[in-house]
Amino acid sequence: MKWFLNMRTRNKLLLCFLFMAVIIAVTGMLALTILAQVNNNVDNIQENAIGRLTILDNINNNFLEIQKNVTTIAWKANAYQGDLFSIDQYRQKIEELSGKNKLLLQNYESFTLTDKEQEFVKSYTSNFATLAARINDLIQSCEAGDLAGVNLLTSQIDSQGNIVLSAIEVLKQEALTSIDNLVYSSQETYNSARWQATVWIIVALILAIVISLIIGQIISRPIGAIVKHAGLLAAGDFTASIPKKYLQRKDEIGLLAKAFGDISQNLRQMIKQIINTAGDMSASSQQLSASAEEVTAQGMNI
């Protein structure tokens, strides 16, 4: 602490301002770090969770369109009672939609998936492969005019389609759960950040008040002592001395205290010299008075 007392007042204030600047900078960095965490969670919601959900919605819509085309093929087969009819447009549409879903699934797998999601991706892939094989059998039965086979395969395709849709629904629920988890994480991050920032600000305010009081005491106490000493000098009391702890300081306050101490010392010496001179003059005056009386007595004897 002594080194701080001996610093120049300007350097003391500069050091305190730098300390407060560090506190403000740390508070700002803490806030920026927290904002970055929240922003990262928002990015994950937008790019990861919502991105996965969008892909799954597209897969689901394409699959429903595939089912619609399969239903149309089965309906026409029953309407024509086994007579041949053109199904090329439906076959092409089913192949096109299946190809789109394959690409969408590849994009979906590029995300970071949970173990449960990976499990149901495999379930979707295997069940859709089974479904695709039965759709192909349905098309062949239609081309062969096998109405009984068409109806049997239609029932199997409907059952298999429900399994595929269930897998898609589970994946969608997982994506929604991921969004909920990220939202909850963002809320937790915000709450934690709010408390950290509040505590840090309170600590910073307390430190600022304590430092201000300390600096005020360091500067005001010696100045008060010097002012009191100057008042005593003005009142004619030259016996008081400035406390030694202030005289030993090497800052401006210490220099001022030393200057007043030198003034007091010089005044005391001056007064002492005046008193001594007055005493000498009194003794000389007494000697002169005695000499004058002696001369007067001698004159009267003559």
Clarify whether residues 296 and 174 are in a common domain: no
Q: Which residues contact 76 (CB under 8 A, 6 or more apart)?
A: 85, 87, 142
Q: Give 62 or 257, the one with higher predicted confidence.
A: 62
The residue type found at 222 is P
**Which pLDDT does position 291 carry in this prediction?**
64
Residues 292 and 177 occupy one common structural domain: no
Whether residue 259 sits in one domain with residue 158: no
pLDDT, tens digit, 9 for 90 and up, residues 64-106 = 999 999 888 888 877 766 555 578 888 899 999 999 999 999 9
Residue 280 is predicted with a pLDDT of 67
Residue 291, domain extent:
244-301
Number of domains in the chain: 2
In this structure, the answer to whether residues 33 and 173 fall within a common structural domain is: yes
DSSP secondary structure of 31-57: HHHHHHHHHHHHHIIIIIIHHHHHHHH
Question: Which of 162, 177, 193 delimits the end of a domain?
Answer: 193
* Whether residue 266 is found in the same domain as residue 118: no
Put simply, whether the predicted model's pTM sits higher than 0.85 gets the answer no
Q: Report if residue 136 sits inside a domain.
A: yes
Q: How confident is the model at residue 163 (pLDDT cuts 50, 70, 90)?
A: very high
CATH number of 126's domain: 1.20.120.1730
Split at pLDDT 50, 70, 90, the class of 220 is: confident
pLDDT digits (tens, 9 = 90+) for 175-214: 888 878 877 877 787 788 778 878 878 887 888 788 778 8
229 burial (CB, 10 Å; 0-12 / 13-18 / 19+) is buried
Please give the angle made by the CA atoms of 84, 88 and 94, to the nearest 5 degrees.
125
Task: Judge whether 13 lies within some domain.
Answer: no
Cβ 52 vs Cβ 178: under 8 Å: yes
Instruction: Decide if 208 is inside a domain.
Output: no
With contact defined as beta carbons under 8 Å apart, do 242 and 224 qualify? no
Same domain, 164 and 28: yes
Tell me, yes or no, whether 26 and 161 share the same domain: yes
43-54 pLDDT, tens digit per residue, is 767 667 778 888
- Cα(182)–Cα(174) distance, integer angstroms: 12
Dihedral sign, Cα of residue 78, residue 83, residue 88, residue 91: positive
Residues 187 and 279 in one domain: no
Among residues 144, 148, 136, which one has the least CA distance to residue 83?
A: 144
By the 10 Å C-beta count (0-12 exposed, 13-18 middle, 19+ buried), 147 is classed as: middle
Q: Which long-range contacts (CB under 8 A, 24 or more apart) does 16-22 make?
A: 16/211, 16/215, 19/211, 20/204, 20/208, 20/211
Separation of alpha carbons 38 and 30, rounded Å:
13
Which one, of 65, 72, 120, lies nearest residue 94 by Cα?
65
Half-sphere exposure of 259 (CA within 13 A, CB side): 11
| Domain stops at, among 178, 193, 208 | 193
Q: Which helix H or strand E contains 233, and what residues bound it?
A: helix 147-234
Residues 175 and 278 in one domain: no
